[in-house]
Structure 1
Amino acid sequence: MPPLPAPLRDPAPMLERALIEWGGRCDLWVFGYGSLIWRPDFDFVERRAAKVHGWHRALKMWSRLNRGTPECPGLVFGMLPGGSCRGMAFRVQQTHARQVMVNLWQREMVLGVYDPRWLDCQTSDGMVRALAFTLPRSSPSYTGILADDEYRRIFAQASGIYGSTRDYAEATHTELLRLGIYDRALARIVALSKSHD
């Protein structure tokens, strides 16, 4: 297996800051908008459909580990500024929350790409403040605008330790539809992945 790419930033102080901001006095909420929806990998006591304003889901983050390699980067979702995003908010019991955050960092923050943020999530039972992993457009991992042919090439070629970009995008799209969430931009991109089948 090739060596891991070097982290863009040290994830450890970002975890410590997030733990301080959470405070440890209440249950933890985590907002899932991609694979966390269909593979959370942590125990939770409640899950609610949620909507975040001011951010949107986009398959525009280079992945050189999970869904691609340094030689053939794949794509994963990030939350970019603007618009809105429908996903799921997970409530984690206070007593387990610190370990869940540590585990999330090992999964999502190995390379220090995301900006962890606490976002207000609108749910049917009121507003909750949840941890979300966002992507600034200034990040070197942000792809910018990708042409349709580039998406097709990535879907055909890119695969990492968790599988292919194509499988990841299709699994997310399928689960969103199952939950009654229609993401027009994602539906169009997934259709591209099938255009050469």
Structure 2
Amino acid sequence: MLAHFLHQWGGKDDLWVFGYASLIWRPDFEFAERQRATVHGWHRALKMWSRINRGTPECPGLVFALLSGGSCHGVVYRIPKHEVREVVARLWLREMVTGVYDPRWLRCHTGKGPVQALAFTLSRRSPNYTGELSEARYRQIFADACGRYGTTHDYARQTLESLQSHGISDAALARLLKLSQAGLASDAREA
């Protein structure tokens, strides 16, 4: 799949990558330029099971996915063409280790005009898509889920803080985190 993607890119231009969650606060690659961007037809949602990074098979956590519908504000990174193969190989190891994402080219709107960017999306047909979760289930996951990179709660909080530092608001995420804080406070009172 990586070879197919690199063939589609073609090697003639720099490559843009769209970040909508942890790629904003931990890109793990050098870039020549970073801009705020908006993608139409896709939205950020905390609706992908994580059984390694933010949870375990016994207590799955959550990570963000880019799902169809709506719009998403994030960040695009420009990778110089002579660095693309190395950067994308590392990015593939990070994002595609389990093959859960559907990498695709999305049109991103920036203050300097549109760019085509690589984005990692999720199909609602994926077994890692959570479907609709209740508020109680989100509270339970925020309270209990922890994997090799930490808790789901910390991941969601870091994402919100990073979005805010770029002047991006995410009311749905802010509401989920507020909900989780109310649940954590309630648990503390009962203990």
TM-score normalised by L of structure 1: 0.92
User: Is 2:13 the counterpart of 1:26?
Assistant: yes
Q: Which residue in 2 is equivalent to 1:116?
A: 103
Q: Structure 1 residue 181 and structure 2 residue 174: aligned?
A: no
Paired residue type of 2:155: Y
Which residue matches 2:43? 56
> 1:69 offset after TM fit, Å?
1.1
Which AA in structure 2 matches 1:164? T
Dislocated runs of 4+, deviation >6 Å? none
1:94 CA drift (Å): 0.8
Deviation at 1:157, TM superposition (A): 0.8
| Deviation at residue 138 of structure 1 after TM alignment | 0.6
Structure 1: any 5+ residue segments left out of the alignment? 1-13
Check if 1:164 corresponds to 2:151.
yes
Q: CA deviation at 1:161?
A: 1.1
Tell me by how many angstroms 1:65 deviates.
Answer: 1.1
Q: Deviation digits for residues 34-80 of structure 1, max 9, x if unmatched? A: 00000000000100000000000000000011111111110000000
> Are 1:129 and 2:110 matched, yes or no?
no
| Per-residue deviation, residues 13-38 of structure 1 (Å, max 9, x unmatched) | x2122111111111110000000000
Q: Could you tell me which amino acid in structure 1 is paired with residue 70 of structure 2?
A: G
User: What residue number does 1:44 align with?
Assistant: 31
Which has the larger displacement, 156-165 or 43-52? 156-165
Alpha-carbon distance in 1 for matches of 2:61, 2:88: 25
**Aligned CA-pair RMSD:** 0.7
Instruction: Name the CA distance, whole Å, in 1 between partners of 2:53 and 2:95.
Output: 10
Query: What are structure 2's unaligned runs of at least 5 residues?
Result: 186-191
Partner Cα distance (2:104, 2:31) in 1: 20
Q: For 2:142, what is the secondary structure of its paired residue?
A: helix
Instruction: State the secondary structure of the residue aligned to 1:110.
Output: coil
In 2: Cα distance, 1:103 partner to 1:162 partner: 17
Instruction: Please identify, of 43-52 and 15-24, the stretch whose mean Cα deviation from structure 2 is larger.
Output: 15-24
Q: Within 2, Cα distance between the matches of 1:96 and 1:69?
A: 34
Letter in 1 for 2:44: R
Q: SS of 1:194's equivalent?
A: helix
**Is residue 75 from structure 1 mapped to residue 52 from structure 2 by the alignment?**
no
Bigger fraction of residues in helix: 2
In the TM superposition, residue 190 of structure 1 has moved relative to its aligned partner by 1.0
